[in-house]
């Protein structure tokens, strides 16, 4: 078991890292998203869709913390940009399924790559204990 003081120090280091990284990534992400005319909410939705085969409009609303009507607006815009497509469920034609397109996957991959590069740079510039804390978190999430 980790000493409480050590745990608090690690939490403080991680909080500092997150705050610095968040500012840096949001600035970079903002520049990139403006190029593609995509909002943060739309990008986060694309991120969810990139990890799933498809999501229903109800699933999207829950994940985004929005009403179904607001989720529909997000999907409408992304569909017009060619980043997602709607399909009817095979078992229930009333159910609308949303799937990311290859163009949407490329956008997410590109932006995620930039974030990964930024994290790598930040971790290389920081104390190795932050890397260890992040690894411990990753190990706990995976188990």
Which residues of the chain, if any, have pLDDT below 50? none
Domain range annotation of the chain: 39-113
Domain 39-113: top CATH class = mainly alpha
Smallest CA-to-CA distance from 110 within 60, 56, 57, 38 is with: 38
**Which pLDDT score, from 0 to 100, does residue 53 have?**
87
97 backbone φψ class: left, alpha, beta (φ>0; ψ -120 to 50): beta
pLDDT at 11: 76
The answer to whether 78 touches 86, Cβ cutoff 8 Å, is: no
In this prediction, residue 60 carries a pLDDT of 93
pTM above 0.75, yes or no: no
């Amino acid at each position: 078991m980790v000493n409480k003081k050590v745990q608090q120090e690690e939490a403080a280091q991680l909080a500092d890292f997150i705050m610095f990284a968040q500012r840096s990534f949001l600035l970079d992400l903002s520049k990139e998203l403006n190029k593609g005319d995509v909002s943060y909410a739309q990008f986060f939705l694309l991120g969810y869709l990139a990890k799933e085969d498809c999501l229903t409009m109800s699933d999207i609303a829950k994940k985004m913390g929005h009403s179904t009507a607001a989720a529909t607006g997000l999907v409408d815009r992304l569909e017009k940009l060619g980043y997602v497509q709607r399909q009817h469920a095979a078992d229930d034609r009333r159910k609308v399924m949303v799937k990311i397109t290859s163009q949407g996957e490329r956008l997410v991959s590109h932006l995620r790559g930039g974030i990964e590069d930024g994290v790598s740079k930040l971790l290389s510039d920081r104390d190795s204990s932050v890397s260890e804390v992040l690894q411990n978190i990753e190990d706990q999430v995976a188990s």
